[in-house]
Amino acid sequence: MEVYLVRHAEAKRPEEDPRQPLSERGREAVKGVSGLVKNLNITVKAIKHSGKLRAEETAQELSKAVTSAEGLEKAGGLAPNDDVGPMKTLLEDTNENVMIVGHLPYLAKLASSLLCGDPTQDIVSFQAATIVRLDRDESSGGWRIRWMLTPDVAEV
């Protein structure tokens, strides 16, 4: 099973626009990452996002490069400070590949929780528009980092 954890791309500051859509720089970054992702032939059941505009716009751009059976899905429990326990349980109880587009510190805590069982450990550093692929070993149930893609890699 594959899980793709995606931090939303750079958003406008709240004083610029309280809805915080993606900034131009953020749009360019996620387009660059999306271009690389297209070549990876990623297939997921759904692309889940928090519902915040910056996460939704990031998910929309990635949906152009990722095959998703159910498309985009606004999902509860993905806000920056939400408890990662319910999502960890959901991921452990399914065999369907999924992409989750969200925020910090939530994504960092979820990654740490899956990888070492402790959400307080600082294992993965998410830049804006970063994708981290985690794979679950079906025999042991353990998780590992398969790869990580950052916007600066997309610029190369």
Report the C-alpha gap between 122 and 27 in whole angstroms: 27
User: Cα separations (Å) of 88 from 3, 77, 114?
Assistant: 11, 11, 7
Residue 86, domain extent: 2-154
Those residues with Cβ within 8 angstroms of residue 89's Cβ, 6 or more apart along the chain or in another chain: none
Q: What is the mean pLDDT of the chain?
A: 96
Of 32, 10, 48, the closest CA to residue 126 belongs to 10
Question: pTM of the predicted model, to two decimals?
Answer: 0.96
Q: Quick: pLDDT tens for 108-145.
A: 999 999 999 999 999 999 999 999 999 999 889 999 99
Residue 113 CB coordination number (10 Å): 21
Tally of domains within the chain: 1
**Tell me, what CATH number does 32's domain have?**
3.40.50.1240
User: Residue 154 — pLDDT band, cuts 50, 70, 90?
Assistant: confident
Q: Quick: pLDDT tens for 24-81.
A: 999 999 999 999 999 999 999 999 999 999 999 999 999 999 999 999 999 999 999 9
CA angle, residues 152, 125, 59, in degrees to nearest 5: 65
User: Residue 153 — pLDDT band, cuts 50, 70, 90?
Assistant: confident
Q: Tell which wins on pLDDT, 87 or 155.
A: 87
Q: Which amino acid is at 122?
A: D
Does residue 156 surpass a pLDDT of 50? no
How much of the chain, in percent, has pLDDT values that exceed 90? 94
> What's the confidence (pLDDT) of residue 14?
95
The secondary structure of residue 147, as a DSSP letter, is E
Sign for the pseudo-dihedral over CA of 95, 97, 99, 104: positive
Residue 51 backbone class (left: φ over 0; alpha: ψ -120 to 50; beta: rest)? left
